[in-house]
Amino acid sequence: MAGLSREDLASRAIASEKYVRRMLATHGLRPTRQRIGLIKLLFGSGNRHVTADCLAAEARAVQMPMSLATVYNALNNFANVGLLRRLEIGVGRTVFDTSTSDHSHFFFEDSGEIADIAVDGSRLAQEIVVPEGYKIAKVDIVVRLRKAS
Partner DNA sequence: CTGTGTGCAAACTCTTTGCATAAGT
Partner DNA sequence: ACTTATGCAAAGAGTTTGCACACAG
121 contacts 138 by C-beta, under 8 angstroms: yes
Rounded distance, CA 122 to CA 3, Å? Answer: 27
- Does 104 engage in binding with DNA (CB under 7 A)? no
Q: With residue 86 as reference, give the H or E element that holds it.
A: strand 85-87
- Identify the residue among 9, 14, 20, 29 touching DNA (CB under 7 A): 29
CA separation (Å) from 97 to 85, 126, 130, 135? Answer: 5, 24, 27, 23
Q: By CB under 7 A, how many residues form the interface with DNA? A: 24
22 contacts 12 by C-beta, under 8 angstroms: no
**Quick one: what does residue 147 bind among its own copies, DNA, none, with the CB cut-off 5 to 8 Å set by partner type?**
its own copies
4 contacts 23 by C-beta, under 8 angstroms: yes
Site string for its own copies, 74-113 (x = CB under 8 A): -------------xxxxx--------------x-xx----
- Does 34 engage in binding with DNA (CB under 7 A)? yes
Instruction: Compute the CA torsion angle 23, 27, 30, 31 (nearest 10 deg).
Output: -10
- Does 94 engage in binding with DNA (CB under 7 A)? yes
- Does 40 engage in binding with DNA (CB under 7 A)? no
Q: By CB under 8 A, how many residues form the interface with its own copies? A: 35
Nearer to DNA, 11 or 80 (CB): 80
**Quick one: what does residue 1 bind among its own copies, DNA, none, with the CB cut-off 5 to 8 Å set by partner type?**
none
Q: Which residues bind DNA (CB under 7 A)?
A: 25, 29-35, 51-53, 66-70, 72-74, 76-77, 92-94
